[in-house]
């Protein structure tokens, strides 16, 4: 059998020849070493990416999340503050309404001007239907002890009232039987302004303490009811005027007291 073509004889040792690998820094780069080198290079690249890209991005995310948490907390605090402000305003409004209601209980200039008429009206109410003048109650005195209200500073109404309340005092004297006197005092207590009754004194009129007897020595039905002479102080209370303290003038300003001049040596 004849083979065509060129025939190249093989060297007997050519099948056992080992490939040549590059040598770097005295190390032959065989496939295992090249694999390790590529793996180390991959780790380095990965570390570089993590250090320069992943970690900064993660830190930025954490910072943004912290800002979001802070903003949310601020919103919560703001809502809580708004709720507290709304509650404080509600409490202030309720306190102002209560103060207005309380102030209506006190006397004022208008009620002081009509106080005499109001007391006299109570006296006339108990006289309704009584024709005999001797049986009618009378208001014999109603006199103010001062021209203007006096601020309370003597703790007579308690230390809490000092400088807060002022009072107008009236000396009152009236005559009438026990039932009439009692009705008049109760009528005064029902007046709108806040009033106090002090130094109350009631004594029986000796001239009306008469016991009527018939010829057989028995008491008659038409007995004269003894009259009482009653005196007391009627005190009308009202809030004291609130004064704003005047600030002291600055040195050198008009009205400021001059500084003392040092004595000559």
Q: What percent of the chain shows pLDDT beyond 90? A: 20
**Lowest mean per-residue pLDDT among 20-29, 46-55, 206-215, 246-255:** 246-255
136-165 average pLDDT score: 89
Residue 227 has a pLDDT of: 86
Residue 185 has a pLDDT of: 92
Residue 243 has a pLDDT of: 62
- Fold type of domain 109-239: Alpha-Beta Plaits (3.30.70)
Residue 212 has a pLDDT of: 57
Residue 5 has a pLDDT of: 47
Give residue-wise pLDDT tens across range 78-97.
Answer: 778 788 888 888 888 887 78
211-230 average pLDDT score: 66
92-115 average pLDDT score: 78
Contact 159, 169 (CB under 8 A): no
pLDDT over 80 at 57, yes or no = no
Residue 24 has a pLDDT of: 54
The pair of structure tokens assigned to 93 is 């409004």
Contact 188, 107 (CB under 8 A): no
Angle in degrees, CA 73, 77, 78, rounded to 5? 115
Residue 259 has a pLDDT of: 47
Angle in degrees, CA 106, 110, 112, rounded to 5? 70
pLDDT over 70 at 51, yes or no = no
pLDDT over 70 at 253, yes or no = no
Best-predicted range by mean pLDDT (129-138, 223-232, 242-251): 129-138
Q: Per-domain residue ranges for the chain? A: 29-103, 109-239
Contact 87, 95 (CB under 8 A): no
* Residue with the larger pLDDT of the pair 201 and 69: 201
Q: Which pLDDT band, with edges at 50, 70 and 90, does 21 fall under?
A: low
Residue-wise DSSP of the chain: ----S---PPPTTGGGPPPP--EETTEE--HHHHHHHHHHHHHHHHHHHIIIIIHHHHHHHHHHHHHHHHHHHHHHHHHHHHHHHHHHHHHHHHHHHHHHHHHTTS--HHHHHTHHHHHHHHHHHHTTT---GGGS-EEEEEEESSSS-EE--SSTT-GGGTTTEEEEEEEEEEEE-HHHHHHHHHHHHTSSS-EEEEEEEEEE-GGG----B-TTSPBPS-PPPPPEEEEEEEEEEEEPPP-PPPPPPPTTSTTPPPPPPPPP-
pLDDT over 50 at 209, yes or no = yes
């Amino acid at each position: 059998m004849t083979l065509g073509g060129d025939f190249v004889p093989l060297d007997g040792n050519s099948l056992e020849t080992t490939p040549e690998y590059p040598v770097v820094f005295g190390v032959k780069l065989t496939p295992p070493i090249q694999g390790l080198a590529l793996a180390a290079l991959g780790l380095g690249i990965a570390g570089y990416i993590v250090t320069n890209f992943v970690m900064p991005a993660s830190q930025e995310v954490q910072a943004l999340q912290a800002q979001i948490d802070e903003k949310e907390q601020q919103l919560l605090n703001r809502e809580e503050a708004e709720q507290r402000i709304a509650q404080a305003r509600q409490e202030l409004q309720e306190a102002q309404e209560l103060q207005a209601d309380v102030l209506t209980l006190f006397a004022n200039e208008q009620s002081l001007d009509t106080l005499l008429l109001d007391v006299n009206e109570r006296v006339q109410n108990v006289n309704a239907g009584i024709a005999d003048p001797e049986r009618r109650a009378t208001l014999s005195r109603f006199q103010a002890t001062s021209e203007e209200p006096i601020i309370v500073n003597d703790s007579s109404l308690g230390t809490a009232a000092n400088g807060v309340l002022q009072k107008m005092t009236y000396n009152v004297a009236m005559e009438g039987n026990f039932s009439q006197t009692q009705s008049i005092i109760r009528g005064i207590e029902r007046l709108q302004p806040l009033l106090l009754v002090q130094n109350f004194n009631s004594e029986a009129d000796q001239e009306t303490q008469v016991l009527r007897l018939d010829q057989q020595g028995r008491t008659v039905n038409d007995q004269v009811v003894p009259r009482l002479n009653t005196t007391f102080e009627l005190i009308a209370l009202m809030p004291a005027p609130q004064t704003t303290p005047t600030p002291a003038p600055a040195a050198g300003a008009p009205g400021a007291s001059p500084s003392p001049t040092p004595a000559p040596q």
